[in-house]
């Protein structure tokens, strides 16, 4: 009898042990009812953990008897906790648990730069976005302009072009600023004569997000987008009134007062941005020359929206900016010039941009859009015994149609660009171009896991000055592919061609106020081929800790680059060279987020950019080979946040061939919110890293100085603070 009882007892105990120690669960998305692969589940207070496989099933083993809490965590979804009493009944095996997308995931980022109204996750073209809290944080640091926002982004570099005026340009992946297209809501009004000041005249207060395309983006944007595109996207009116106001003061004598309001009611809507920036001249190293110029800057940007019907929207806007900027000898700035105190650099600018847009959406979701802008930029640069002034007029017209066919999203369009520079008092540098282009782009959803975006643009460009007249046609293909290798891994690969029409307005000539620069003669457009490839991985390591990494590789080659040279008379002129500029490298971005409160960002950029036409040192000047960005942010939403930042900049070559030291810089910011009012403080570069600690930037004689290339901070440690009011 015992020989029959013992097996029965053994079977009973083994079954009982299984029900106590093994539990199977199916995990799904609660909105789409799709299985979720890669969900982490663990027993709270223990080391028992498991991950869902391709079937969505999680198997937890060795679970102690009694009440246990199982935690389910997955990137992009709210963390879920559920209680079970073990051992569980057989009927509870393969219980289905559903996870809800987090608010951040529900508010998916819709990008505008590809014009397909797609979320960033389903766009084959690689686009980086800066939005939300990061825009808010950088607005605290530099309310006057977007320079801080771009300076601290991986792969971007804000290059100061003047020691006294503070003018700057944006470099993408090591290439000069003239190869990057700056857009505001898709309008290209910030190039040529305006380019050296554009970064300093775009305030961040009314921005909803910033979109960055690295690499060729010529299909939709034509010439000038060899290195990439930076598109500043404005907020739009909503049914609920929105108001943001900021008052900021710094220890270097800067005062910023600004406000943004918008509202949509019935058939009408409006938005209004106003900003005043006042800056006293600031001499940190007491050498009698300003590191920060005295400046007064005013911007007002109203936009009116008329919703003719639910499918037709009309927008009319105007942005007006006026500024004066005076740097140089502190005695001259104080209106106390003398025999030994004579040097100054003064910029007077007026920028007016009028925009018009009408958008019609059809019943089948196809749409047609007409965009028109006229930009007038009036600028005068003055130094002792010399001045350079002129008016840059730019007109942009674009008509596009977006339509759908099965798995294809297609865009076809034409655009026209007219750009004219008219020099005042003389016509030496007068120049004009007219570009007409036709383009087509197709985004093909082959499967849920493979999407291809291909495009073709044909531009005909006529450009001329007093010396010559030239006409060129450019055929610009482009292709990008998105591979969703799994729920955790995606990859994008893309490439294309680009071009840049010759101009005398570059970073080098800006730094010399265009003095002794000869007008262009017999030069051709620069042309490029380039591409990027990246892979992105994201997962939940354990519990509430999520991790993501993006690895990007890039390559750009610019043929017949336009290079500044000098003659025996001391004049400067541009000429095409036979050997190319080649930039290649990589970017690595890591993100760790714990409970959506504590966030760590690590960004590393390796750039190997060379001017192969040079015989000796071919490395591009003022370009660090290695850069490292570190940011840690802790935030309790609606309560407080603080952040610590560290940035490493590698050694750089100067134009004279010398190399600079490498350096670290650190910053700290904090913000406390009391309902609608937020108080903030920012300690930028609190280790006081600046160029004058290594060598004086200003070289004698005092009344006719020369200036070193700018490779480091000039102003040193800056502390600023203020308050924001939000409705």
Which residues, at least 6 apart from 447, have a Cβ–Cβ distance to it below 8 Å? none
Find out whether 59 and 27 touch, Cβ atoms under 8 Å: no
Minimal CA–CA distance to 203: which of 321, 302, 295, 354?
321
- What would the mean pLDDT of 667-682 be, rounded to a whole number? 94
Find out whether 367 and 326 touch, Cβ atoms under 8 Å: no
Amino acid 315: pLDDT: 98
Pick one of 1.10.1040.10, 3.30.1520.10, 3.60.15.10, 2.40.170.20 as the CATH number of 233-726.
Answer: 2.40.170.20
Which residues, at least 6 apart from 341, have a Cβ–Cβ distance to it below 8 Å? 288, 329, 331, 332, 702, 703
C-beta atoms surrounding 244 within 10 Å = 19
Structure tokens at 179: 């190869």
Distance (Å, whole) CA 100 – CA 308: 37
Q: What is the CATH number of domain 106-232?
A: 2.170.130.10
Which DSSP string corresponds to 279-317? E--B-SS-SSB-SB-EEEEEEEEEEEEEEEETTEEEEEE
Amino acid 12: pLDDT: 37
Which residues, at least 6 apart from 446, have a Cβ–Cβ distance to it below 8 Å? 407, 452
Distance (Å, whole) CA 146 – CA 182: 12
pLDDT single digits (tens) 253-271: 999 999 999 999 999 999 9
Q: Which residue bears the tokens 């001249």?
A: 281
pLDDT > 70: what percent of the chain?
95
Element (H, E) at 70: strand 66-73
pLDDT single digits (tens) 481-510: 999 999 899 999 999 999 999 999 998 898
Torsion of CA 308, 310, 311, 315, to 10 degrees: 40
Distance (Å, whole) CA 317 – CA 389: 27
Burial letters for 97-128: b for 16+ Cβ neighbours within 10 Å, e otherwise?
bebebeeeeeeebebbbbbbebebebbbbbbb
Hey, is 120 helix, strand or coil?
A: helix
Amino acid 269: pLDDT: 97
- Given a cut of 70, whether residue 666 has pLDDT beyond it is yes
Which DSSP string corresponds to 41-65? EEETTSS-EEE--TTSEEEEESPPS
Find out whether 187 and 371 touch, Cβ atoms under 8 Å: yes
Amino acid 20: pLDDT: 47
- Given a cut of 90, whether residue 152 has pLDDT beyond it is no
Element (H, E) at 387: strand 386-405
- Given a cut of 70, whether residue 107 has pLDDT beyond it is no
Minimal CA–CA distance to 603: which of 209, 155, 213?
155
Amino acid 84: pLDDT: 86
- Given a cut of 50, whether residue 119 has pLDDT beyond it is yes
Question: What's phi and psi for 22, nearest 5 deg?
Answer: -135, 125
- What would the mean pLDDT of 464-479 be, rounded to a whole number? 95
Query: 2-102, what's its fold?
Result: Immunoglobulin-like (2.60.40)
Q: If pLDDT is split at 50, 70 and 90, which confidence band does 280 have?
A: very high
Distance (Å, whole) CA 367 – CA 361: 4
- Given a cut of 60, whether residue 236 has pLDDT beyond it is yes
pLDDT single digits (tens) 29-61: 887 778 887 788 888 878 788 888 777 888 888
Q: If pLDDT is split at 50, 70 and 90, which confidence band does 199 have?
A: confident
Q: If pLDDT is split at 50, 70 and 90, which confidence band does 17 have?
A: very low
Strand partners, 329: 289
Name the DSSP class of 601: E
- What would the mean pLDDT of 426-440 be, rounded to a whole number? 95
Distance (Å, whole) CA 370 – CA 627: 41
Amino acid 15: pLDDT: 40
Distance (Å, whole) CA 39 – CA 213: 31
Structure tokens at 9: 């007892």
- Given a cut of 50, whether residue 102 has pLDDT beyond it is yes
Amino acid 44: pLDDT: 85
pLDDT single digits (tens) 584-612: 999 999 999 998 889 999 999 999 999 99
Amino acid 105: pLDDT: 45
Minimal CA–CA distance to 280: which of 715, 666, 687?
715
Amino acid 22: pLDDT: 83
- Given a cut of 50, whether residue 454 has pLDDT beyond it is yes
Give me the chain's average pLDDT, please: 89
Distance (Å, whole) CA 323 – CA 203: 13
Amino acid 664: pLDDT: 97
pLDDT single digits (tens) 375-414: 999 999 999 999 999 999 999 999 999 999 989 999 999 9
Find out whether 26 and 57 touch, Cβ atoms under 8 Å: yes
Structure tokens at 572: 């400067």
Q: Which residue bears the tokens 């320079």?
A: 147
**Which of 8-12, 185-189, 226-230, 434-438 has the least mean pLDDT?**
8-12
- Given a cut of 80, whether residue 71 has pLDDT beyond it is yes
- Given a cut of 60, whether residue 681 has pLDDT beyond it is yes
Bond before 205 cis per omega within 30 degrees = no
Amino acid 75: pLDDT: 65
- What would the mean pLDDT of 91-108 be, rounded to a whole number? 70
Find out whether 126 and 181 touch, Cβ atoms under 8 Å: no
Q: If pLDDT is split at 50, 70 and 90, which confidence band does 207 have?
A: very high
Give CA separation, 693 vs 49, 236, 284, 455, 702, in Å.
54, 45, 11, 50, 19
- Given a cut of 90, whether residue 357 has pLDDT beyond it is yes
Structure tokens at 193: 């004569």
User: CB-hemisphere CA count at 13 Å for 445?
Assistant: 12
Provide the residue ranges of all domains of the chain, joining segments of one domain with +.
2-102, 106-232, 233-726
Q: Which residue bears the tokens 């890293």?
A: 689
């Amino acid at each position: 009898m015992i020989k029959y009882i013992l097996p029965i007892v053994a079977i009973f105990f083994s079954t009982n042990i299984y029900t106590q120690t093994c539990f199977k669960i199916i995990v799904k998305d609660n909105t789409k009812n799709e299985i979720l692969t890669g969900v982490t589940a663990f027993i709270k207070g223990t080391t028992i953990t498991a991950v869902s496989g391709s079937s969505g099933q999680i198997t937890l083993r060795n679970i102690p008897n009694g009440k246990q809490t199982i935690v389910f965590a997955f990137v992009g979804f709210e963390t879920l906790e559920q209680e079970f009493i073990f051992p569980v009944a057989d009927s509870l095996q393969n219980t289905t648990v559903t996870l809800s997308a987090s608010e951040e995931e529900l508010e998916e980022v819709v990008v505008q730069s590809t014009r397909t109204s797609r979320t960033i996750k389903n766009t084959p073209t690689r686009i980086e976005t800066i939005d939300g809290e990061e825009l808010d944080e950088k607005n605290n640091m530099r309310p006057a302009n977007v320079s801080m926002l771009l300076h601290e982004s991986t792969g971007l570099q804000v290059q100061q072009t003047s020691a006294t005026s503070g003018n700057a340009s944006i470099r993408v992946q090591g290439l000069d600023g003239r190869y990057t297209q700056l857009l505001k809501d898709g309008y290209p009004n910030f190039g040529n004569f305006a380019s050296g000041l554009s970064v300093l005249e775009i305030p961040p207060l009314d921005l909803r997000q910033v979109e960055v395309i690295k690499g060729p983006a010529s299909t939709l944007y034509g010439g000038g987008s060899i290195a990439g595109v930076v598109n500043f996207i404005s907020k739009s009116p909503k049914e609920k009134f929105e108001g943001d106001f900021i008052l900021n003061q710094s220890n270097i004598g800067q005062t910023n007062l600004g406000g943004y309001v918008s509202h949509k009611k019935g058939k009408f809507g409006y938005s209004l941005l106003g900003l005043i920036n006042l800056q006293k001249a600031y001499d940190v190293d007491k050498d009698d020359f300003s590191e920060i110029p005295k400046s007064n800057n005013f911007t007002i940007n109203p936009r009116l929206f008329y919703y003719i019907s639910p499918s037709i929207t009309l927008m009319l806007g105007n942005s007006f900016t006026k500024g004066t900027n005076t740097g140089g000898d502190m005695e001259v700035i104080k209106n106390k010039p003398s025999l030994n105190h004579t040097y100054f650099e003064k910029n007077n600018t007026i920028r007016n941009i009028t925009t018009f847009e009408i958008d019609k959406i059809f019943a089948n979701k196809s749409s047609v859009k007409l965009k028109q802008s006229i930009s007038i930029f009036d600028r005068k640069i003055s130094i002792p015994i010399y001045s350079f002034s002129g008016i840059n007029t730019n007109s942009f017209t674009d008509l596009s149609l977006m339509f759908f066919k099965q798995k294809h999203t297609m865009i076809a369009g034409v655009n026209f660009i007219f750009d004219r520079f008219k020099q005042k008092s003389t016509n030496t540098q007068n120049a004009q171009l007219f570009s007409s282009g036709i383009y087509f782009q197709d985004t093909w959803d082959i499967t849920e896991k493979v999407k291809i975006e291909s495009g073709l643009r044909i531009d005909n460009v006529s450009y001329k000055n007093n010396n010559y007249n030239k006409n060129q046609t450019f055929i610009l293909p482009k292709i990008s592919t998105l591979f969703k290798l799994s729920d955790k891994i995606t990859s994008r690969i893309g490439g294309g061609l680009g071009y840049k029409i010759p101009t005398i307005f570059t970073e080098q000539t800006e730094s010399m106020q265009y003095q002794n620069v000869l007008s262009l003669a017999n030069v051709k457009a620069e042309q490029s081929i380039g591409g990027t490839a990246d892979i992105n991985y994201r997962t939940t390591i354990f519990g509430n800790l999520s991790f993501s990494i993006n690895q990007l590789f890039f390559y750009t080659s610019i043929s017949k680059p336009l290079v500044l040279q000098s003659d025996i008379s001391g004049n400067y002129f541009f000429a095409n060279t036979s050997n190319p500029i080649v930039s290649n490298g990589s970017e690595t971005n890591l993100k760790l987020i714990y409970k959506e409160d504590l966030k760590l960002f690590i960004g590393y950029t390796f750039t190997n950019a060379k001017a192969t036409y040079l015989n000796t040192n071919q490395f591009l000047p003022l370009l660090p080979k290695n850069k490292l960005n570190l940011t840690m942010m802790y935030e309790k939403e609606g309560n407080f946040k603080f952040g610590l930042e560290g940035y490493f900049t590698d050694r750089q070559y100067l134009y004279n061939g010398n190399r600079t030291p490498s350096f670290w810089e650190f910053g700290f910011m904090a913000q406390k919110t009391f309902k609608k009012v937020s108080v903030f403080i920012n300690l930028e570069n609190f280790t006081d890293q600046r160029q004058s600690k290594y060598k004086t930037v200003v070289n004698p004689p005092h009344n006719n100085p020369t200036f070193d290339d700018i490779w480091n901070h000039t102003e040193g440690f800056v502390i600023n603070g203020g308050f924001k009011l939000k409705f």
